[in-house]
Amino acid sequence: MNPTHHPLDNRLPGMLRSGQRLRGIFNGIPSPALVEMCAFAGFDFVVIDNEHGSAGLETTEHMLRAARASGLPALVRCLEQDIARTLDLGASGLQIPMVNTAEHAAALVQRVKYPLPLGVAGVSGQRGSAFSSRAAGYGAFGGPQHTQRSNEGIALIVMIETPEAVANASAIAAVPGVDAVFVGPNDLAHTMGHENRWNEPPVQAAIEQAIRAVAAAGKCPGVLALTKDDEDRYANWGARFFASVTSGIINKALSDAATGGRSPVNY
Task: Encode pLDDT of 122-137 as tens digits.
Answer: 999 999 999 999 999 9
Q: What pTM was computed for the model?
A: 0.94
Query: Which residues touch 181 (CB under 8 Å, ≥6 apart)?
Result: 157, 158, 159, 160, 169, 172, 173, 210, 214, 219, 220, 221, 222
CATH number of 3-7+22-259: 3.20.20.60
Pairwise CA distance, residues 46 & 267, whole Å: 17
Q: Does the pLDDT at position 28 exceed 60? A: yes
Q: Does the pLDDT at position 1 exceed 60? A: no
Q: Tens digit of pLDDT for each residue in 39-63? A: 999 999 999 999 999 999 999 999 9
Q: Could you list the active site residues?
A: 52
Q: Does the pLDDT at position 38 exceed 70? A: yes
- Band of residue 5 on the pLDDT scale cut at 50, 70, 90: confident
Average pLDDT, the chain: 95
- Domain definitions of the chain by residue range: 3-7+22-259
- What average pLDDT does range 196-217 have in this prediction? 98
